[in-house]
Amino acid sequence: MIPFDFAYFRPDSAAEAVSLYQELARSGMEPVYYGGGSELLTMARVGNRRFGAVIDIKAIPDCTAIGEEGERFYFGSAVSLGAIERSGLFPLLGRTGARIADHTMQQRITLGGNLAGTIRYRECVLPLLLADAGMTVFTNDGAQSVSIHQIFSGRLDLPTGALLTGCSVSREFARARHGHVKKTKNEKIDYPIATVCALETDGYLRFAVSGVHENPFRDMALEEILNDTRTVPRLRADKIVEELRPGAVSDVYGSSEYRLFAFKRAIMEIFAMEREGAMV
C-alpha cells in the first residue's frame, strides 16, 4: 500500500504535460512524470519517495510512438522495453532491454523510466551512447533535439520539469554489428555486476559499460585502447581494467575486484565474438 494520497493526470500532449507539471509544482504538489511506474510505486510503498501528483505520459503520442522516421528509428520514452525488443528496429537496444528484470516487468518498464530512474545501472543508455542517439526534450520553450552526449553524463541531466519525449538513432548505427554481454552474480535475471555493449562501425569497436562504476559510461580514450591492434586483446583488456580500477564500485552485490574480473571476462567475450564473426 502507498502510505499517502496523490492526484493522477493523463495529458494527451507533451505541451500539456509540461505546463501541468509547472502548475502543480507551483502549488506545492511535487509532481512526477510516470512511465511504467515500477520504480515510483515501489519506492513510494517502502517510504523512499513521496509525490503529490503523477503525470502519466502514456497518452502522449510523441512518447508512445515507435518506428521509422526517414533514415532514423524513433523510440518514444513511454515505449516498454518489451515493445522495443519486439520491434526489431535496434537489435542491440532490444537485447539490452531483454536482460533487464523479467519478461513481465519488461512489458511495463519504459525506456524513459530506465534512463531517468534512480536505479543506477540504466543499461538502456549503453546502446544509445554507442549510436550517438538524438534525444527529444520538451520544456516550456517547446521541443528541443539534443545529442545524448549533451544530456547524459552518468545520469540524465534534464532541467526541472522537462519531459524526455523520445530518442532516435540512425539506421546505420541501429543495424551495425554488435555484441552484448551481461554478467550477473547468481541468476540470469539480476542487476549487472558488469554489462558491456559493443557496436562496430567501419571496423572500429565502440563500447559502453554499466555496473562497474557508479554510473554507466562510454569513454572514447578506453575505446582507443580497445582498438589498438598493436597489442594482443588480453593485454588491451588488462590495460582497460587498470584504467577502470579507480572508482570501481564495491557493494553488497559485488566487490570492485569481482566487478573488474567480470568486466574483463565480458570484454574478452566481445573480442572472441568479433574474431569468430559472431557479432551480428
Ligand X SMILES: Cc1cc2nc3c(=O)[nH]c(=O)nc-3n(C[C@H](O)[C@H](O)[C@H](O)COP(=O)(O)OP(=O)(O)OC[C@H]3O[C@@H](n4cnc5c(N)ncnc54)[C@H](O)[C@@H]3O)c2cc1C
Residue ranges that bind ligand X, judged by CB under 6 A: 32-40, 57, 77, 100-101, 105, 108-110, 112-114, 116-117, 119, 121-123, 163-164, 191-192
Nearer to ligand X, 37 or 134 (CB): 37
Q: CA–CA separation, 198 vs 119, rounded Å?
A: 22
Q: How far is the CB of 185 from ligand X (least distance, A)?
A: 11
Q: How far is the CB of 108 from ligand X (least distance, A)?
A: 6
Q: How far is the CB of 228 from ligand X (least distance, A)?
A: 30
Nearer to ligand X, 122 or 183 (CB): 122
Nearer to ligand X, 25 or 225 (CB): 25
Q: CA–CA separation, 182 vs 159, rounded Å?
A: 32
Q: Name the DSSP letter for residue 213.
A: S
Q: Under a CB-based contact definition with an 8 Å cutoff, are residues 111 and 81 in contact?
A: yes
Q: How far is the CB of 118 from ligand X (least distance, A)?
A: 7
Contacts of 132 (CB under 8 A, 6+ apart): 147, 148, 149, 169, 170, 173
Q: CA–CA separation, 12 vs 57, rounded Å?
A: 8
Nearer to ligand X, 94 or 112 (CB): 112
Q: CA–CA separation, 71 vs 44, rounded Å?
A: 41
98 alpha-carbon distance from chain centroid: 12
Nearer to ligand X, 40 or 66 (CB): 40
Residue nearest to ligand X (CB): 113
Q: Under a CB-based contact definition with an 8 Å cutoff, are residues 164 and 152 in contact?
A: no
Q: How far is the CB of 172 from ligand X (least distance, A)?
A: 26
Q: Which residue has the cell 510516470?
A: 34
